[in-house]
Amino acid sequence: MTILLVSCLRTYASSTSKPNILLMMADDLGLGDVGCYGNDTLRTPNIDQLAKEGVKLTQHIAAAPLCTPSRAAFLTGRYPIRSGMGSSTKQRILYWTGGSGGLPPNETTFARILQQQGYTTALIGKWHQGMNCESHSDHCHHPLNHGFDYFYGMPFTLVNECQSTENRQLNALVQAKYWLYSQIIALTVLTLLIGKLTGLFLVKWKAIICFALCGFLFFISWFSSYGFVKYWNCILLRNHDISEQPMKLEKATSNILKEAVSFIERNKHGPFLLFVSFLHVHTPLITTEKFLGKSRHGLYGDNVEEMDWMVGRILDAIDKEGLKNNTFTYFTSDHGGHLEAQKQNTQLGGWNGIYKGGKGMGGWEGGIRVPGIFRWPGVLPADTVINEPTSLMDIYPTVAHLAAGIMPQDRVIDGRNLMPLLQGKVQHSEHEFMFHYCGLYLHAVRWHQKDSAALWKAHYTTPIFQPEGAGACYRSGLCSCFGEDVTHHDPPLLFDLSSDPAEIKPVSPATEPLFDIVISRIERAVQEHRQTLTPVPQQLSGYNNVWKPWLQPCCGTFPFCWCDKEGDSHQEIL
């Protein structure tokens, strides 16, 4: 009966005129990496053309400076702290496909709303919102349990370990400590053994064996997870089925592009929602031979230009099927570029233009200001620039509105419908205040005064750069949100973004007559915001974010997880 009802709803909804929706999200792309945002040395003609044919947002803000919480906010239209996808620890993203944390099943994604309105929905590419809760096949966090009819891609994210064991990326500092402790234990056992055999130490064999066994168990306890990241996390899924474990990185670009184009061709009669979540431009920057060495900015530039080419091929598929005028198209990045991504003297992360900071920094603009480009010919104006504050969370109510969907009424939705702003029916954003979190810690607040050009930003906490004045946290690889690695400001650092968007010179009571009034109004807004927060289970807690063998997806008999079901069926479309 339920299946029949859903089928009837889809048939009815599909008969009405609703646009197809194409959402494209890059991974770790810096705002300054794109031509239409000021870069004149990287070639991004397809993204630039998209902006020329539509609307470009210059103050488009991610709800978090890291992928897991930012994407959770994007999917739900809610700050990550509301869904439990913020973190009070240094582990601010999901670390394992075999972990128990993830986007809670009771959260309603925009995919679910559109699915209920008759849309065929698909996610192709990166997920990074969890997989299982209690068993390796309950799929409680899986895309198909969050409103997507079809999923093809990585349940996790690209990391260096997917390519090799050099330049480890996943919890690198912790791995280094574990290696050190293991080496100390091994050296101690060896010393005791030599001492025993030579008579230098009066130690019992039982004690040596016990110490060696404890050391071995310690080594196994951490190496069983970190030593096999390539097999545990670098997996390719088709719906619930594992296609490749580990995934073949050299085929990833072609596979994802082929799947996106195929979905458009299969569903050309619509309406459809296609969310293309690129693996580009996250390290290790997997780039096909066609683009290697072609840019002026090394491997990172090659990867950006390849991603732009993929955008072009997907838009070509839309054009080929005659869907351009009936497709609402959007391009963005999940957060700012990763400044600390380096190998020796080679930069492997993005450029955030004039904006201070980058990935991992919850307050500084470079970590949260991202591209925001929309196109819908005949509905949205062409070659238009909007400077108003907007959020990735705004996509949720916007696409729900386009699909005539009903948003949940039992929870706070932080996003706002962008259509009136995009169409020029209103001149100002509905966002008066925006709250910039680093994990669970509020680092900054933006105040856009109603019917005014004034745009203030108060920083309560900022990261301590390493080395001092470097502009990023190069020693640790990523800036922290709390503890000894941050500076607390009382009164807050206050910037006038309308005249100082790069956040170079904070104003003070001596230089800004409105200083006390502005700080007072922002602090009142913070209090009002916190009154809307309710306690929820923490999805990124220590327990949820540890590897659990019984939750590990495996296409063989655990721990022998290896398969290649894509095989020779792969067709090269490059």
Active site residues per annotation? 67, 128
**Identity at 176, one-letter amino acid code:** A
Query: Which tokens in the block code for residue 351?
Result: 């450029």
How far apart CA 540 and CA 538 sit, in angstroms, is: 6
In sequence order, what are the residues at sequence separation of 6 or more whose Cβ sits closer than 8 angstroms to the Cβ of residue 477?
Answer: 172, 173, 340
Torsion of CA 468, 493, 434, 411, to 10 degrees: 90
Helix, strand, coil percentages, rounded to 5, for the chain: 35, 20, 50
Of the candidates 102, 31, 11, the residue with the CA atom closest to the CA atom of residue 356 = 31
Of the candidates 511, 509, 514, 510, the residue with the CA atom closest to the CA atom of residue 447 = 514
Q: What is the CA radius of gyration of the chain?
A: 25
Helix (H, G, I), strand (E, B) or coil at 330: strand
Helix (H, G, I), strand (E, B) or coil at 463: strand
Beta strands at 369-375 and 55-61: parallel, antiparallel or unpaired: antiparallel
How far apart CA 156 and CA 152 sit, in angstroms, is: 12
Please spell the DSSP secondary structure of 150-211, one letter per residue.
EEEEESS---GGGT-SSS--TTHHHHHHHHHHHHHHHHHHHHHHHHHHHTSS---HHHHHHH
Tell me the β-bridge partners of 433. Answer: 447
